[in-house]
Amino acid sequence: MPKIEPGDLDEIGEKIKRTMLLREGSGRAKIIVHMGTCGIAAGARTVMKAFLDEIESKGVKDVIITISSCAGLCSREPMATVELTSEPAVKYVDLTAEKARRIFEEHVLGGRIVAEYALAAGSERTL
Amino acid sequence: MEYRANAMICTCTNCISNGSLQIKEALEAEIRRRELESDILIVPTGASGLCVKGPILVVQPDGIFYQRLKKDDIPRLVEEHFLKGRPVKELMYVPPGQEVPIPELRAIPFFKDQRLIALRNRGMIDPDKIEEYIARDGYKALAKALKTMKPQDVIATIKESGLRGRGGAGFPTGSKWELCRKSRSQLKYVICNADEGDPGAFMDRSIIEADPHSILEGMTIGAYAIGASKGYIYVRIEYPLAIERMETAVKQAYEYGLLGKDIFGLGFDFDVDIFRGAGAFVCGEETSLIASIEGKPPEPRIRPPFPAESGLWDKPTNINNVETWANIPVIINWGAKWFSEIGTETSKGTKVFSLAGNINNAGLVEVPMGITLREIVYDIGGGIPGDKKLKAVQTGGPSGGFIPAHLLDMPVDYERLREVGAIMGSGGMIVMDEDTCIVDIAKYFLEFTNDESCGKCTACREGSEVLLKILNKICSGHGEETDLVMLEELGNAVRDASMCGLGQTLPNPILSTLLHFKDEYEEHIRNKRCPAKVCKALITFAIDKENCTGCLLCAKKCPQQAIMGEAKRPHTIDQDKCIKCGVCLDVCKFDAVLVA
């Protein structure tokens, strides 16, 4: 292992930045893939894998992927919710790996909602 | 590889002894079985702090806190949470006296009222990976100090921050460094004192196990400020895991050029060795610790000269405690002003306490100085089991004192604790409920210090012996009025005449209880009564004829066959045979055993 200089610290940190953001629970964007039994049966794992592949291949550091249970609209699974900081969450329905990649590119990275796949903006109100 | 979740499994000594390594194996196996290896990363971490609830697993990014895990829980946890995204409520933390679990770590009162500086990386990093420490601003303070600050600037910053030694005495750290800097010598040493010996205390162990690099970075900054070229980390051998993690950390730091010659390529050299102490309590005293490293019997010596002038191998030496060192990088990164805004007028920053005794959330807490004992015991600690009444909080371990319940709203800092006869110490905090006998517990601490007294000076060696004898006499019902005067006079004499901190502080448990709980001593002496019903010689067990149903359970369980009676008729206890073990009291279902 080479001896490091002060400037190398950031580089070392940058390499695992995504992991650290994940542990802090913070990031610019959060993608929730709904993975209840219905979601999994409809192919939610492929959708989630597509998101993870995008993150890896594009070297994105500040996006967190997480899963949750059934979103209640089982007939439209696989579903995912995209939350950008300080913007309303958007729910996408009838997803495929292909659609997931486009959502990642346009909405998560570009900030433009992919209206044709979106169900609605906003999440349910709790209590 | 990009993961979607990190499973942070606590592998501190406490959790390991509760089986966390088996949980980790089960987790790995189940994740493989479910083909989730590319989704979920398992990360071993140091203590999360809520040690009593171990083994603990925190799932990030959502911060779901699982506790008291068993191997059999793992398949369900993996299927529900990792596969289907449904966190498992049954494995979450439920606050004492409530029914609804709290899923997120940050929402649990125990965690949310804490402020982490020394423990900033606990549960967030794998202590065996230097890269993870670096990713959380690790070694940036060292780079800053070496690149942009003169040694004097570093000392000025630490002085300005108001940081005081976290090992017990509370001496200002910056001034201590300055004294050592001013001593002229080619060779100087810095030492990290990790000889933690107070019964029930585990602050230092937890910091090393969770974040060893924070100590190495702090020590290297200190060495630069003082002009030392060699450092020792004195860890007791009873801490094998802490030693192992520290060894790994030292090795990695050398590989990265963060220890050794020409650190960061900036021309400063500093070497570190780990020294395993055999575990005598007196080694926490700095001159004994130095003698121990030199291979001599661990006995203290008269100061002055102070180690800052003549310490290890007669060279100028600066010793700080683990927690003090762990604070240093943060102060350098964030500045003296930021640090000095936390805490009280005279005590800055935070303090780590190991919370133990009659408390629901026993564990490791870091809180800002100035927090009240009430907040620590009731908000963070979750109160006392069985809703019993608080009697006293004991701080500072065997060198410390007792704070009675009516002073619960007192802010915690060095001066306030001293005012009431207690000390900050290194951070032991033992909570005692109404069933605790004050005389008995003072006796417990004296037994410890009497045992650990090195024997070099008469005041400590003989004084502790006589103090203990008097306490034994009081507990066995032979106490006399004059004993109280004797305890106080002798206690003061031992405090004044002993050579080192061990002897100077060992009368504290007696003196502080005489100050706050004198009536309890008097009750033992005058009425031969132990109000808490603990001292065996002063209590008797009897059976309440009204409540006794004659079930014979106590008679069957009594190890002395001291309980007589027939079925369905009230029993009686033969006082001559009774050894006061209390088994009858424990087994009786009808509240028919009376203790008087």
Query: What are the pLDDT digits (tens) for B388-444?
Result: 999 999 999 898 999 999 999 999 999 999 999 899 988 999 999 999 999 999 999
pLDDT tens column, A60-118: 888 888 888 777 788 888 999 998 877 788 889 999 999 999 999 999 998 888 988 98
Provide residues of B within 8 Å CB-CB of chain A.
1-6, 8, 38-39, 41, 43, 60-63, 83-86, 124, 131-132, 134-140, 143, 146-147, 255-258, 262, 264-266
pLDDT tens column, B480-533: 999 999 999 999 999 999 999 999 999 999 999 999 999 999 999 999 999 999
d(CA B269, CA B77): 49
Band (pLDDT 50/70/90 cuts) for residue A122 is low
Residue range B455-479: average pLDDT?
96
Q: Which two tokens stand for residue A92?
A: 């996408």
Contact A23 B61 (CB under 8 A): yes
Band (pLDDT 50/70/90 cuts) for residue B71 is very high
pLDDT tens column, B25-52: 999 999 999 989 988 999 999 888 888 8
Helix axes B481-497, B508-516, angle to 10 degrees: 140
Of all residues in chain B, the percent with pLDDT exceeding 70 is: 100
Band (pLDDT 50/70/90 cuts) for residue B83 is confident
Contact B143 A40 (CB under 8 A): no
Residue range B177-199: average pLDDT?
95
Residue A125 has pLDDT above 70, yes or no: no
Contact A35 B85 (CB under 8 A): yes
pLDDT tens column, B345-379: 999 999 999 999 999 998 899 999 999 999 999 99
Residue A127 has pLDDT above 60, yes or no: no
Contact A25 B83 (CB under 8 A): no
A103 touches B: beta carbon within 8 Å: no
Sheet holding B363-368, edge to edge: B363-368, B350-357, B428-433, B390-395, B401-404
Residue with tokens 């005067």: B485
Contact A16 B131 (CB under 8 A): yes
Partners of residue A12 in chain B, C-beta under 8 Å: 131, 134-135
pLDDT tens column, B132-160: 999 999 999 999 999 999 999 999 999 99
pLDDT, averaged across chain B: 94
The pLDDT value recorded for residue A75 is 83
The pLDDT value recorded for residue B57 is 95
The pLDDT value recorded for residue A123 is 60
Nearest to B4 among A6, A16, A66 (CB): A66
CA angle centred on B551, ends B550 and B557, rounded to 5°: 115
Band (pLDDT 50/70/90 cuts) for residue A121 is low
Helix axes B212-226, B151-161, angle to 10 degrees: 120
The pLDDT value recorded for residue B520 is 96
Length of chain B: 596
Write down the pTM of the prediction. Answer: 0.89
Q: What is the least distance, in Å, from the CA of A43 to any CA of chain B?
A: 12
CA angle centred on B354, ends B349 and B355, rounded to 5°: 110
Size of the A and B interface in Cβ pairs below 8 Å: 106
pLDDT tens column, A4-54: 999 999 999 888 887 888 888 777 888 989 887 888 888 888 999 999 999
Check residue B388 and report its DSSP letter.
P
Contact A13 B84 (CB under 8 A): no
